[in-house]
């Protein structure tokens, strides 16, 4: 029997509650599809600060590196907010991403028909939306140098540098084309090539890499137009490929098409080694320990882990179908509840998912 090694990082706040649900479902679905999962649970974020004094212990990073895929819940809590930056939970997450060399961030946005009324947009605009934002995660203006703040001639000036090299663009473009080829076959690259030199290089390289993926239809869009098109007609998109800064903004905009942060999974991938799969939401300290968390983003992250991280697409589809069916049956966690819904806690939602699996 094929065995995979998963590192589980429950983290803080609602993290342990939603991890427990995901783990039960992973056990059930792996048994059904004839593979086995060995878990290695490790502390990260505030939990790691409490246990070891640092937000990313070396042992946690080593365990992640030695595994086939990593499933992270969320990190952070108010009690850590006053600590120096290098000791904060968020620093552990950034160190984990860079320690695993994760340069590609994937955020799928799919409107489930049962939740169509949760969006702030009209149902006819969002019905059937199924898009994927592919964001470059380790370059661009967040990391470019020089950066800083200077004082001269009685004024203060601050600056950052938006820079990409051809190899950084090529590798993220390949991720975008590969994923488009596995989905609807359309890639829209978003830039600001009418104004920025760095965007012109981005566009040139994306065109060059397109030669290796002739079956994928490539288009380009300026970022300001993309922001508009995402709310005007989001159905036109299959895969959106973009840089770190533009992707940060557009992926949050795209996420909100669904109207519910408790539903959104993500994946971060490197050129080799395990990917990191995690819900988009944070640790929700306001509801931690009250059994009110929505575990569905975590379950959908586990499905991404199965499909992308372990190439177990049929098992992933089972998990996604279970989420659809439970919602269609009218079950909701508090964050999603509308009139007439049956409101369940985190654990009970997990039990319903297991039942329909």
- The residues assigned a catalytic role are 142, 192, 224, 248, 252
Q: What is the DSSP secondary structure assignment for residue 87, as one 8-state letter? A: G
281 counts as binding ligand NAD under rule CB under 6 A: yes
Phi and psi torsions of 126, nearest 5°: -105, -10
Tell me whether residue 77 or residue 140 sits nearer to ligand NAD (CB atom). Answer: 77
Dist. CA 124–CA 250, nearest whole Å: 21
77 counts as binding ligand NAD under rule CB under 6 A: yes
Which residues on adjacent β-strands are paired with residue 9? 72
Tell me whether residue 187 or residue 297 sits nearer to ligand NAD (CB atom). Answer: 297
Q: What is the DSSP secondary structure assignment for residue 79, as one 8-state letter? A: G
Dist. CA 94–CA 92, nearest whole Å: 6
Torsion angle of C-alpha atoms 288, 289, 293, 297, degrees rounded to 10? 70
Of 10, 55, 76, 270, the one binding ligand NAD (CB under 6 A) is 76
260 counts as binding ligand NAD under rule CB under 6 A: no
Q: Which stretch binds ligand NAD (CB under 6 A): 62-70, 71-79, 156-164, 220-228?
A: 71-79
Of 74, 169, 206, 303, the one binding ligand NAD (CB under 6 A) is 74
287 counts as binding ligand NAD under rule CB under 6 A: yes
Phi and psi torsions of 342, nearest 5°: -95, 115
131 counts as binding ligand NAD under rule CB under 6 A: no
Of 335, 349, 350, 353, the one binding ligand NAD (CB under 6 A) is 335
Helix residue ranges per DSSP H, the chain: 15-33, 46-52, 58-65, 89-99, 123-126, 166-182, 197-210, 223-232, 244-255, 296-304, 313-328, 346-356
50 counts as binding ligand NAD under rule CB under 6 A: no
Nearest CA-CA partner of 4 in 30, 29, 24, 23: 30
99 counts as binding ligand NAD under rule CB under 6 A: no
- C-alpha to C-alpha distances, 309 to 3, 69, 132, 268, 306, nearest whole angstrom: 13, 6, 17, 10, 6
327 counts as binding ligand NAD under rule CB under 6 A: no
285 counts as binding ligand NAD under rule CB under 6 A: yes
Tell me whether residue 172 or residue 344 sits nearer to ligand NAD (CB atom). Answer: 344
Tell me whether residue 307 or residue 332 sits nearer to ligand NAD (CB atom). Answer: 332
Could you list the residues that contact ligand NAD (CB under 6 A)? Answer: 14, 74-77, 90, 93, 261-262, 278, 281-287, 293-294, 297, 335
């Amino acid at each position: 029997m094929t065995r995979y090694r998963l590192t589980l990082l429950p983290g803080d706040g609602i993290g342990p509650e939603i991890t427990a649900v995901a783990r039960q479902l992973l056990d059930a679905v792996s048994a059904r599809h004839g593979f086995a999962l060995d878990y290695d649970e490790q502390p990260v974020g505030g939990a790691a600060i409490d246990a070891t004094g640092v937000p990313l212990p070396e042992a946690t990073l080593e365990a992640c590196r030695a595994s086939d895929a990593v499933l992270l819940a969320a990190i952070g809590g108010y009690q850590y907010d006053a600590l120096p930056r290098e000791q904060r939970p968020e620093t552990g997450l950034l160190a984990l991403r860079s320690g695993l060399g994760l340069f590609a961030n994937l955020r799928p946005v799919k409107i489930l028909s049962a939740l169509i009324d949760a969006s702030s947009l009209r149902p006819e605009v969002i019905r059937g939306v199924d898009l994927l934002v592919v964001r470059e995660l380790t370059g661009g203006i967040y990391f470019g140098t020089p950066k800083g703040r200077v004082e001269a001639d009685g004024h203060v000036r601050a600056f950052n540098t938006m820079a990409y090299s051809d190899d950084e663009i090529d590798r993220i473009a390949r991720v975008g084309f590969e994923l488009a080829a596995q989905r609807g076959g359309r890639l829209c690259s978003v830039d600001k090539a009418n104004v920025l030199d760095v965007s012109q290089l981005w566009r040139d390289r994306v065109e060059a890499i397109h030669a290796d993926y002739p079956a994928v239809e490539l288009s380009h869009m300026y970022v300001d137009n993309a922001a508009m098109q995402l709310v005007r007609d989001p159905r036109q998109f299959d895969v959106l490929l973009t840089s770190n800064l533009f992707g940060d903004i557009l992926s949050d905009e795209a996420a909100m098409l669904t109207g519910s942060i408790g539903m959104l999974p993500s994946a971060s991938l490197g050129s080799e080694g395990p990917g990191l799969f995690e819900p988009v939401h944070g640790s929700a300290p306001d509801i931690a320990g009250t059994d009110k968390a929505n575990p569905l983003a975590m379950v959908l992250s586990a499905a991404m882990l199965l499909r992308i991280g372990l190439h177990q697409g049929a098992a992933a589809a089972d998990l996604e179908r279970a989420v659809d069916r439970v919602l269609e049956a009218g079950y909701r966690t508090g964050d999603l509840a509308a009139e007439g819904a049956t409101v369940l806690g985190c654990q009970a939602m997990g039990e319903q998912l297991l039942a329909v699996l």
